[in-house]
Amino acid sequence: MNIETHVTPCDGSRSGAHLTVQDVTVQFGGLTALSDVGFEVRPGQVLGVIGPNGAGKTTLFNVVCGFTRPQTGHLTLDGRPFRPAPQRLVRSGVSRSLQGLGLFPGLSVLENIVAGAGGAARTGWWSGLLALPRTDRDERELHDRAAALIDELGLGAHAHAQPGTLPYAVSKRVALARALVSEPRLLLLDEPAGGLGHDEVLELAELIMSLPSRGAGCSVMLVEHHVDLVMQVCDELVVLDFGRVIATGTPAVVREDPAVAEAYLGAEVDV
């Protein structure tokens, strides 16, 4: 398998959040899903998490999103303790796109994207309750950002459509737009290439590579099965197997690691 890698050094000039995961262990009954897992997503970096089925990728993603609480270990965000909770992610400057689309069936594409910013909670409880001018201004800015994303991601023809009427690839773009509308400093992507065709994966790769320089800057943690995609877009990779980190490094380094070839891709596969 011939893969052209894309590596962008983190030189300290790029912005975005700095996430660290330290010594995280998660157990479900007698099963250890993660064991002493540690890594970091540096500012402006695209970090990929790969591994075979059952390696612990989804559990790790759920820990960072706040869906799963580890038994041991801790997380920091920009050097401060980070105890993620799904309902507070946006306020922390973190957004996520889930493997399942999770679009609201009763809302239009535009309304689904706007919902990604957390609605009135983003402008403050008192402002929303009293309908202060700041709320109206913020809502206009939010709709402007949503409209810009609709244009950028080629969703203009679907802006007022219901999610149930959309092709799957279009729904994936809506989910990405919803994750981006809050202008996150850290974006968590769970299998964004799942179900996409070749050309659509190429478009996704271009979008992911543009994220670190987007707005005020964005770091990305990408959990993905699509090897070609992660090798192209990621600055560094973390490889899991049976809940443990077996390799870290640039795509060029990881693809030469015999343990990765054997555990993830199969001993006979040339990566």
Domain-by-domain residue ranges, the chain?
Answer: 1-93+184-271, 105-183
Say what the pLDDT of residue 100 is.
Answer: 64
Tell me the per-residue pLDDT of 178-231, one tens digit each, with 9 for 90 and over. 999 989 999 999 999 888 889 989 989 999 999 888 877 899 999 998 888 999
CA-CA distance, 231 to 237, in Å (whole number)? 8
The per-residue pLDDT for 102 is: 78
Nearest alpha-carbon partner for 23 in 33, 36, 34: 36
User: How confident is the model at residue 40, as a pLDDT?
Assistant: 96
Determine phi and psi for 237, rounding to 5 degrees.
Answer: -125, 150
Average pLDDT, the chain: 83
Which one-letter amino acid corresponds to residue 165? T
Joined together, the tokens standing for residue 194 give 């799942």
Residue 91's CB: how many other CB atoms inside 10 A?
Answer: 12
pLDDT score of 120: 35
Q: Does domain 1-93+184-271 have CATH number 3.30.1280.10?
A: no
- The residue with greater pLDDT, 153 or 134, is 153
pTM for the whole thing? Answer: 0.83
Over the stretch 56-106, which tens digit does the pLDDT of each residue have?
A: 999 999 999 999 999 999 999 999 999 998 888 888 999 998 776 778 888
Task: Taking the CA atoms of 259, 263, 267 and 271 in sequence, report the sign of the dihedral they define.
Answer: negative
Question: Residue 86: what pLDDT?
Answer: 87
Q: What values do phi and psi take at 125, rounded to 5?
A: -65, -45
| Environment class of 244 (CB within 10 Å of its CB; exposed 0-12, middle 13-18, buried 19+) | middle
